[in-house]
Homo-oligomer: A and B are copies of this chain.
Amino acid sequence: MNEHREQMIEIARAARVASRAVARAGAERRAAALNRMADSLAAHEDAILLANRADVEDAREAGVEGPMLERLLLDEKRLLGMVRAVRDVAALPDPIGATVKEWTRPNGLKVSRQRIPLGVIALIYESRPNVTSDAAALCLKAGNAVILRGGSEAFRSNRAIASALSAGLAAEGLPPEALQLVPTTAREAMVDLLQCSKEIDLVIPRGGEALLDFVTRNSRIPVLQHYKGNCHIFVERTADPKMALDICYNSKVQRPGVCNAVETILIDEPIARTFLPALADRLANVELRGDERARAILPSLVPATEEDFATEYLALKCAVAIVDGVGAAAAHIERYGSSHTEAIITRDQQAARRFLAEVESSTVMVNASTRFADGGELGLGAEIGISTSRLHAYGPMGVEELTTTRFVVMGDGQVRA
């Protein structure tokens, strides 16, 4: 047994034991603990910003720059945002212990399904240090213990944040092992952690496709996958043109670097001659790449390749294709989509219904911006990620998606005949 493996098993076992205390603490103490964590985060501001400065300096020396460096950076304002986010999660309704359903069997057995925590959740993420507090708060709110494994660039920041959060937990009398940061960023250690299927119930990787692939390939623990968001809008022939332009603009331009930004706009053939030029006008700051039919209308468009339609640009670029009706739009989405979010803009209820029936994505929308595909915006309170695979949760995941249910059976002596 190598050094890492022993250490990872120890961390996982301690998390399992601590998870029971969090599960049984009750709603009030869990909320109190989260508020203590927020207090402690604020109280450790100096230490956290100092640690972050060291991370940022090293990253800069290593040649990291631009958005990558920007993501790593913490300042007073961002730290305050993190503190506020933990308090917001503390204030959410507690999901644990609720009876989800109940019924009585003909033999008098009272059966119910009761919401319980998942147990121990391992979160594997990349550079943003705020994930450390956001994700930890959500996991603990749902009654779980959490093991955090952040990226190496943010290691000192994460360590300072996690230790402040653990101190908050301990101040409420809960075991600090309910929130642990893996003390090494060695890949082999991560692989060892991913073998602890007896102690850890769920792994959530947050990051690029390479990280997700690595985790899925190496894990013996169930993995919740958040793959890319190659989102589509279909502008159907009866769409209100102004609404369609507003939604396309908002979905593409409001924040192009995130997974719920639109990446391909499909235009219904009968309106293409008028709508496409209006769209090009409205999205003047976006590089539009058109299929042949779009370029027949607007020859100035960059030609779109097969690859363009499969690409999540995360930038001010957008693919455009002309399609013949809802069926063709759904077929295009089936071929190139990533099961994340797709919207139809239409005034025809039948077209809307058909779109909803034929498109299998985790979030489907009628007459709204794809940018609403987000746990907070949809009313889940907060979000730990967006699942693009169907098991356990499909789409934005909030606190409730970090729980499961068990069967509780109350009898008065029933035996089976």
Contacts and interface: CB of A to CB of B under 8 A. Distances in A.
A392 B223 CA distance: 11
Interface string A402-417: 0011111111111110
A362 interface: yes
A361 interface: yes
Contact of A368 (B109, B223, B254, B363): B109
Given A404-B391, A408-B356, A243 B379 contact: no
A273 interface: no
A251 to B, nearest CB: 8
Report the interface size class on chain A.
35 or more
A104 B217 CA distance: 40
Contact of A409 (B366, B411, B416): B366
Interface in A53-110: 103, 105, 109
Contacts of A414: 367-369, 372
Interface string A389-409: 111111110000000111111
Nearest to A365: B409
A365 B110 CA distance: 10
A410 B222 contact: no
A357 interface: yes
A201 B390 contact: yes
A416 B414 CA distance: 56
Contacts of A348: none
A377 B407 CA distance: 12
Nearest to A413: B243
A135 to B, nearest CB: 17
Instruction: Tell me the dominant secondary structure on chain A's binding face.
Output: mixed
B201 A411 contact: no
B416 A109 contact: no
Interface stretch (A28-36, A111-119, A169-177, A305-313): A111-119
Given A406-B363, A409-B368, A415 B378 contact: no
A369 B411 CA distance: 9
A367 B415 contact: no
Given A394-B406, A408-B364, A416 B377 contact: yes
Given A24-B358, A373-B407, A378 B111 contact: yes
Interface in A111-151: 111, 116, 118-119
A378 B416 CA distance: 12
A357 to B, nearest CB: 6
Nearest to A334: B20
Contacts of A407: 362-364, 373, 378, 395-396
Interface in A366-384: 366-369, 371-373, 377-379
Interface in A330-378: 356-358, 360-369, 371-373, 377-378
11 contacts: A105-B379, A119-B360, A246-B413, A363-B409, A365-B411, A367-B410, A368-B413, A369-B414, A369-B415, A372-B416, A395-B406
Given A201-B389, A368-B409, 19 more contacts: A24-B357, A116-B390, A116-B394, A222-B223, A246-B413, A356-B408, A363-B408, A364-B406, A364-B408, A365-B408, A366-B409, A367-B413, A369-B416, A372-B414, A378-B407, A378-B409, A391-B391, A392-B392, A396-B407
The 8 A-B residue pairs with the shortest CB-CB distance, nearest first, are A368-B411, A250-B415, A371-B416, A392-B392, A243-B413, A365-B409, A363-B407, A222-B391
